[in-house]
Amino acid sequence: MLTRLSQTLVIASVLSIPLLPAWAEAETESALARPLETSPANAEQPATTVAEWMAQIESALVQITAVRVESTEAGLQIVLETAEGELSPPTTQTVGNALIAEIPNAVLALPEGDSFEQFAPTEGIALVSVTNEPGNQVRVAITGTDAPPSVEVNAATAGLVLGVMPGLGLAVTEDEALRIGVTGEGEEGYSPSNASTATRTDTPLRDIPQSIQVIPRQVLEDQQVIQLREATRNVSGVIEGSNFGNSGDAFLIRGFQTNDNILLNGIALGTFNLGLNSSFRETANIERVEVLKGPASVLYGTLEPGGIVNVVTEQPLPFPFYEAELQAGNFGLLRPSVDLSGPLNSDRTVLYRLNAVYQTAHDFRNFDQDIERAFVAPVLSWAISENTDLTLNFEYLYDERPFDRGLAAIGNGIAAIPFDRILGEPDDINIRKQYIAGYQLNHQFNENWELRNIFRYISTERTTRAFQNRGDLNEVTGDLARSIDDQNGIIEGYALQANLVGEFTTGSVEHTLLLGIDLSRETNEFDNRFAVDLNSENMFSPSIINIFDPIYGAPRPSREDLIDNRSLFGGTVKGLGLYVQDQVALTDDLQLLIGGRFDIVDQDSFFTSVSAGDISFDTTDQQQDEAFSPRVGIVYQPIEPLSLYASFSRSFAPNFGTTVEGDILEPTRGTQYEVGVRGEFLEGRFITNLAAYHLTRSNIAATDPDNPDFSIATGEQRSQGIELDVIGEILPGWNIIASYAYTDAEVTEDEGSPLEGNRLAGVPEHAASLWSTYEIQNGDLQGLGFGLGLFFVGERQGDLDNSFRVPSYVRTDASLFYHRNNWRAGINFRNLFDIDYIEAADTRSRITPGAPFTIVGSVSVEF
């Protein structure tokens, strides 16, 4: 089902509504200009009340009583029948792949309801939709599959006939779509067909020789996604990772932690794997989420090998669009948001979009500290000329929430304490402020060659004041050692990217060539002040809490009081990357993808330790790393709906972990072999992907068990498995997204360490998900829908030592929603049966519990 594009174009593209329609204003002015005349007795009397006046306006509208879609030799014709009266000629415009016809002074009055939809009535046409629109007009939207159709308008005896011819199949490119404000991949309901993350070009998913899953906007809306992790649980092989006190997004993809493999429109949000840049990514302006699994260094540089999560944001629209939404739920959730867009000039070359949201809520755990969040994201696009366009974007995020290290382990399992019990203090807090600014400049030299230039600046500041679990738990008495931490850090950086994309042929072989260069620079500084192992005479005691009988209210020192015990560390990383990629269509059913990247990364670091007012350790370090990261893939399509693929790829990531001595670890390398089969059935509406992979990662930074704020290097880890993803529309109104992953992840080499042979922490052997919705398509209950979700995560090891296990769970979600015309209401139930489950585990004293039964209600209106 095409939902986002059709709904946006058909329902939400509404101009500002005047008090009177234009024809009524003209009639009123004309009547006022005429002298008074004596009316016959049977003439309509002038309105003397508002109700009479409105009734007269409604009676003057031409009613469309039937809509028929009929096939013709040229394509099809849309017949609009009226009981009486003549329809005025429509005005038309083209937006993306849709042709919009607006008929003034008309109203849709069908026996089956106040809207009409027919999907795929003929080849080349995806959707015909007829709806009532404010301002006493009827809108006909005809969406082409590859290009906008053309239309011929003919007056009929009792109505209007629109002769429709499908477009010529010249598909709108992604950048052309962005120029007019419609990103094509996000407009296909549960059936995404294209993605740009895997190749940095607008490539059909069936032509990509690597596992990639797209979570479209419709899924985000149906599940009422507020946090990114709520979206990624739909994708095979993606599990919640260690998230630095439940304060930011972190994922395990194919068994490997990927804190900083989160991209925003193809640009990484940060380089340092310190859990600082990746605050919880705001979802208010997300168009879709693309998850590419396996190494991606060939295009994106210094990344961990598990995969990347690329967030694609909404872009300005060429027509007025205004949406307001309110989400509310238990735990004090209140989340109003607005989404505004439209042109700023008459020829629609300057467009804007503004997303803004404010959120307040209580944490489900027993903190006094609430959650407060504010986000503003304006975007401005300018079509400088027919071939050149510029987009400016800015984001501001403020996030304040409890800092929460979670639960603790006893023996080989989780301590038997309530899941809402905290082991810090009720007023522990984490605050992040983030600014992102940038631009994207595109220039089309001709129909085959295009230059793209992107710049991004990001600044993130983190403040944390908390009593942190230190890991020393007396499992008999329940006494847990804590430290008092007052941390402040800031990361600033920029990324500059330029690439040239060209299409050409060599004989019968077609090429899509990508040449690119990336430059980046990032600096970070941290000032962490703390008190540990305090004795009873110290004014900051006690640092011990009993997990079975906690007593809160420990005195919290000021930051100035902790100046004699602190760690100062940070550094600068500069990167240069050069890459080339060629997508080669050897034949109609055989394609080759080959590419390579050369990276140079310079690192400078410093570390100073102050104890009892004296410098106990002071060091600096410098390191330069160079690496070549290749990727080769092949796709064979024996029949049109089926793609068989195989690929080899490598990754490169500098190790930003430092030892307790202050030394930078050597870079991490990843190598993956993958084979898979992708099928697109039911005319592309139902998509499946089955993949098998073998992935190794060497020279890994792991948490130093004796010094949890520092790292040590381990030898090699291996992850291999099978993944299945399914998404699409089974029948009209019935959608599904499902996944299954078998993951065998373990430490394969560790220089004789007892870790060798251990399973990787937090990685389940089996995991699966299922989410399905059904919306009634006609009748009195048209627009009413239901959703059901099941999310299974198998048993996991809680730490790399494999000293305790995290039990498996099945979480059940459900939804009920209703939408009609320009408004939608829904209610989502998460963890319907209120089970206790663990989201993530890192060490024995840092275990993140999942949320209990949660309700999120929402009401949105587009006008």
CATH of the domain at 96: 2.60.40.3500
Token reading at 520: 């980046």
CATH code, domain carrying 534: 2.40.170.20
Q: Which are the contacts of 6, defined by CB distance < 8 A and separation ≥ 6?
A: 98, 117, 127, 129, 141, 143, 187
Residue 703 tokens, joined? 């948490």
694 and 783 assigned to the same domain:
yes
- If asked whether residues 556 and 656 sit together in one domain, one would say yes
Q: Is 185 left (phi over 0), alpha (psi -120 to 50) or beta?
A: alpha
d(CA 584, CA 573): 35
The reply to whether 465 and 503 lie within a common domain is yes
Lookup: tokens for 329: 């739920």
378 lies in the same domain as 278: no
Q: What is the pLDDT of residues 451-466, one digit of tens each?
A: 999 999 999 999 999 9
Examine residue 401 and state whether it is found in any structural domain, yes or no: yes
Distances in whole angstroms, Cα of residue 67 to Cα of each of 129, 138, 148, 158, 275: 10, 12, 21, 12, 56
Answer yes or no: do 562 and 546 share one domain.
yes
Q: Do both 325 and 294 map to the same domain?
A: no
Judge whether 834 lies within some domain: yes
Block residue for tokens 């209210």 = 553
In a domain, 184, yes or no: no
**SS3 for 593?**
strand
Q: Are residues 813 and 699 in the same domain?
A: yes
Q: Return d(Cα 267, Cα 269) in angstroms, integer.
A: 6
Q: Using DSSP, state whether 141 is helix, strand or coil.
A: strand
| pLDDT score at 145 | 76
DSSP 107-120: EE-BTTBSEEEEEE
Q: Which of 406, 404, 192, 418 is nearest to 312 (CA)?
A: 192
Please indicate, yes or no, whether residues 315 and 305 belong to a single structural domain of this protein.
no
- Which among 509, 411, 402, 522 has a CA at the least distance from the CA of 466? 402
Q: Using the 8-state DSSP alphabet, how is residue 425 labeled? A: -
Q: How far apart are the first and last CA of the chain?
A: 23
Whether 582 and 649 share a structural domain: yes
> Which whole-number Å values give the CA distances from 76 to 79, 120, 295, in the listed order?
10, 11, 47
The number of domains in the chain is 3
CB atoms within 10 A of CB 636: 15
Does a structural domain hold residue 171? no
Determine how many CB atoms are found less than 10 A away from the CB of residue 728: 23
Domain-embedded: residue 554: yes
Torsion of Cα atoms, 298 then 394 then 280 then 228, to 10°: -70
Instruction: Report how far residue 156's alpha carbon sits from residue 761's, in angstroms, rounded to the nearest whole number.
Output: 70
Range of the domain at 135: 4-37+45-165
Q: Is residue 474 assigned to a domain?
A: yes
SS3 content of the chain, % helix, strand, coil (to 5): 5, 55, 35
Name the nearest CA neighbour of 848 among 373, 260, 365: 365
> 301 and 330: one domain?
no
- Judge if 686 and 813 occupy the same domain: yes
Q: Select from 294, 310, 326 the last residue of a domain.
A: 310
* Residues ≥6 apart with Cβ < 8 Å to 826: 224, 815, 816, 817, 818, 857, 858
- 219 and 145: one domain? no
| pLDDT at residue 662, as a whole number | 66
Tell me the whole-structure pTM to 2 decimals: 0.78
CA distances, 5 to each of 1, 57, 123, 143, 317 (Å): 10, 32, 19, 9, 11
Give the HSE-up count for residue 355: Cα atoms under 13 Å, Cβ half-sphere. Answer: 19
At 804-824, the pLDDT tens digits run 999 999 999 999 999 888 899
Last residue of a domain, one of 310, 343, 375: 310
For residue 142, being part of any structural domain is answered with: yes
Please spell the DSSP secondary structure of 635-680, one letter per residue. EE-SSTTEEEEEEEEEEEE----B-TT-PBPPPEEEEEEEEEEEEE
**43-50, long-range: CB < 8 A, 24+ apart:** none
Query: Is residue 678 in some structural domain?
Result: yes
Q: What letter would DSSP give residue 412?
A: T
CATH number for the domain harbouring residue 265: 2.170.130.10
* Domain final residue pick, 291, 310, 329: 310
Weakly modelled stretches of the chain, pLDDT under 50: 1-44, 50, 57, 168-187, 273-276, 534-541
Q: How much is the pLDDT for 434?
A: 93
* Phi and psi torsions of 762, nearest 5°: 75, 5
Q: What angle do CA 814, 818, 819 make, to 5 degrees?
A: 135
The three-class DSSP label of residue 496 is strand
